[in-house]
Structure formats: C-alpha cells, structure tokens
Amino acid sequence: MLLKNLGCADYQSTVLAMQAFTAARTSDTPDELWLCEHPPTFTQGLAGKAEHVLMAGDIPVVQTNRGGQVTYHGPGQVVAYPLVDLKRAGYFVKEYVYKLEEAVIRTLRHFGMTGHRVRTAPGIYVRLDDPKSHAGIGLAGIGDNAEQVFLRERLGKVAALGIKVSRHCTYHGVALNVAMDLEPFSRINPCGYSGLQTVDMKTLGVSAAFDDVQNVFAKQLQTWLG
C-alpha cells in the first residue's frame, strides 16, 4: 500500500482527488493510503440531518458522499483515507470497517489507551473515567440505544469513520483525534448523537507528538488492510 502524506489539505479538494483516483483506477492500480489534516471543516454525510448542526458559526459545512452524519475535521486530527480495492483484497465492507476500527484500537493501545466498539455506532470510544480500562462495553438492550450506552458507560468518542465504496473500491476513511481544539464539536451532534462527548488523546493524558501518532496509525492501517 503506497503511503502519501498530504500535510494540511483542503477537504473538498482532497475528496475530488480521491474520486478522480477511484474513477481512473484499474484492477492493476496499487492501493494507496493518504494521510492528512484538514483546516476547520464540518462535513455532512449522506445520512446527515440539518438539525444536527447546532451552530456552525465561522466553520464551513460541506456536503459529502461518505456514509454517516455530521462530524468535524480540524488541525491536530489524523485523517486517513485508504484507497483499497476490496475485490482484490478479498474482503467485504463489514470486515473493512472492522479492520479500520482495529487499526485505531491498536494505535491507542500503543500509547497506553483502550479503545472500544459500540454496537450500531461505528467509531472508537474510550471510558472517560479510566481511558486505560479494559472492562467491556455493555451491549444495548431492548429499548436501549447508543446514546444511552454512551451515558451509562461514560464514553467519549476519539475516532470517527465515514466511508464510500464505488466499484468495490473505497475512499473517505477514518479520523483519529490526537491534540485538537475540541470546541467545534459542541456546535454539532457528533455523528448524529445528541450529547455525545468527543475527546482527543491529549485530553485523556497522552502527550505523544502528532507525527508519532500518525506514523503508528499508518503502520497499523497498512498491516490490517494489506
């Protein structure tokens, strides 16, 4: 998987470049992994509802064709865009999402944190009271929903996923919060969940350099997607 570091890249331009790459690729085109940060941007997925943007203020809201609802991108967040031919790789979308999440979990583990999955709510979460806790997350029961699980288990979201698959090939991807201004997340219902607290690694006690986290994350993605 060819690794490309785009640095700080405009969101819309990056999406257009991913679309062009995906449209032009053939069965022989090597997979690529693009890494970047974005300037402050709210992005609204295909399932996005306008009411989940509470107060955008001076941050642009960009409609996009990834799955999911509204999220925020900004400096201090590692954004990874794997451009993978799933047919050639030999796995389906569900397994692809699992691999993305596992790469996040292994990256967090490298830096002493424990990431968790929540059924029906893609992304990776940590326990706010004890980010190192390995205690399992209770599954949503009858009449329960993801928001109730977040409150009951005292969870914060540290990584968000939103993907697109075209002709068996992926683009868009996953964002891991390293050390960023978290205030813009208060202007939205992150990923469509009212009251969901969004956190970063620094807030939870990890003082690792951005480049170090990005490098570990890239290696995990290359390992799990390769």
How far apart CA 90 and CA 188 sit, in angstroms, is: 37
**Which position has the token pair 């288990």?**
153
User: Where does 78-226 have alpha helices with state H?
Assistant: 86-89, 93-110, 146-153, 210-225
CA distance 195 to 189: 7
CA atoms within 13 A on the CB side of 23: 6
The answer to whether the Cα torsion of 12, 57, 49, 175 is positive or negative is positive
Active site residue 191: yes
Name beta bridge partners: 116.
125
As a whole number of angstroms, the distance between CA 183 and CA 216 comes to 26
Instruction: Identify any residues that bridge with 162 across adjacent strands, giving them in sequence order.
Output: 173
| Residue in the block written with tokens 């697109």 | 164
φ and ψ at 195, to 5 degrees? 85, 0
Q: Which of 8, 36, 169, 191 is catalytic?
A: 191
Residue 76 contacts residue 179 (beta carbons within 8 Å): yes
Active site residues: 191
